[in-house]
């Protein structure tokens, strides 16, 4: 932390809420919040893993409380398990959590069970992008089409890139482009969904983070499957 951390954390959570406002008012269908600090390790009662306020969870609760949404989905593809998101939103019938992460890595999701409203998709060390793509098409997309969320929040972490040194997955830019394209397509396939708010999570190699964000956003902005 530094003297500016708390202010930055409030702005990050506020940006996620502003994206929900813009979507629920009908101003936009998609938003990408390029924020720091990230949020998905922040629990209801403590910080963790560089996270102080859980931006995605705050945005979901804002959508439910302010706009009365009954079904909000959160899809998290950061390399680390979204322990804070599951702590805050686990067990709720109005939230679905899809969480892909590296197995046996901080914060060690393998030591506890997923809440009933969460689907964990763990990947072993050395996993390449084809496994992530297969999980998206065979697990996440069918579940989202079945759930029909009124809002989709994406915890977009890019620290599974092969150039990152905090983890050992081997994703590259085209994998993140694939995810952006699929999320955009899902929005077109679910009439009940008002929009998608993507919130930046991890990503610590500045070069691969920039390239991965650009690849994701370019496809996220498209309507092509």
Distance of CA 134 to the CA centre of its chain: 17
In the chain, pLDDT over 90 holds for what percent of residues? Answer: 95
Catalytic one among 40, 41, 62, 161? 41
How distant is the alpha carbon of residue 65 from its chain centre? 20
Q: What is the pLDDT of residue 26?
A: 97
Mean pLDDT of the chain: 96
Q: What is the pLDDT of residue 192?
A: 96
Residue 62 annotated to the active site: no
Q: Is the pLDDT of residue 224 over 70?
A: no
Window from 60-64, 73-77, 111-115 with minimum mean pLDDT: 111-115
Q: What is the pLDDT of residues 112-164, one digit of tens each?
A: 789 999 999 999 999 999 999 999 999 999 999 999 999 999 999 999 999 99
Q: Phi and psi at residue 124, in whole multiples of 5°?
A: -70, 160
Where does the pLDDT of residue 225 fall: very low under 50, low under 70, confident under 90, or very high at 90 and above? low
**39-42 long-range Cβ contacts below 8 angstroms, 24+ apart:** 39/12, 39/13, 39/84, 39/155, 39/199, 39/201, 40/76, 40/78, 40/80, 40/82, 40/83, 40/84, 40/85, 40/155, 40/157, 40/201, 41/80, 41/82, 41/83, 41/84, 41/107, 42/84
**In the chain, domain spans:** 5-220
pTM of the full predicted structure?
0.96
Percent of the chain with pLDDT over 70: 99
Report the CATH superfamily, name and number, of domain 5-220. Histone deacetylase domain (3.40.800.20)
Q: What is the pLDDT of residue 110?
A: 74
């Amino acid at each position: 932390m530094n003297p500016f951390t708390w202010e930055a954390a409030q702005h990050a959570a506020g940006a996620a809420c502003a994206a929900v406002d813009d979507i629920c008012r009908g101003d936009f269908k998609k938003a990408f919040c390029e924020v720091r600090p990230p949020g998905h390790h922040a629990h209801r009662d403590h910080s963790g893993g560089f996270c102080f306020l859980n931006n995605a969870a705050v945005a979901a609760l804002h959508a439910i409380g302010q706009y009365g949404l009954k079904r909000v989905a959160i899809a998290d593809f950061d390399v680390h398990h979204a322990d804070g998101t599951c702590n805050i939103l686990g067990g709720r019938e109005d939230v679905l959590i899809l969480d892909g992460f590296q197995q046996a890595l901080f914060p060690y999701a393998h030591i506890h069970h997923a809440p009933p409203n969460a689907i964990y998709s763990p990947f072993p060390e050395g996993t390449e992008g084809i496994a992530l793509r297969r999980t998206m098409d065979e697990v996440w997309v069918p579940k989202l089409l079945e759930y029909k969320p009124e809002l989709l929040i994406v915890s977009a972490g890019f620290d599974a890139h092969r150039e990152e040194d905090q983890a050992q997955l081997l994703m590259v830019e085209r994998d993140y482009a694939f995810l952006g394209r699929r999320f955009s397509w899902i929005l077109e396939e679910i009439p009940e969904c008002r929009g998608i708010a993507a919130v930046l999570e991890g990503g610590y190699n500045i070069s691969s983070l920039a390239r991965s964000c650009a690849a994701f956003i370019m496809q996220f902005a498209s309507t092509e499957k």
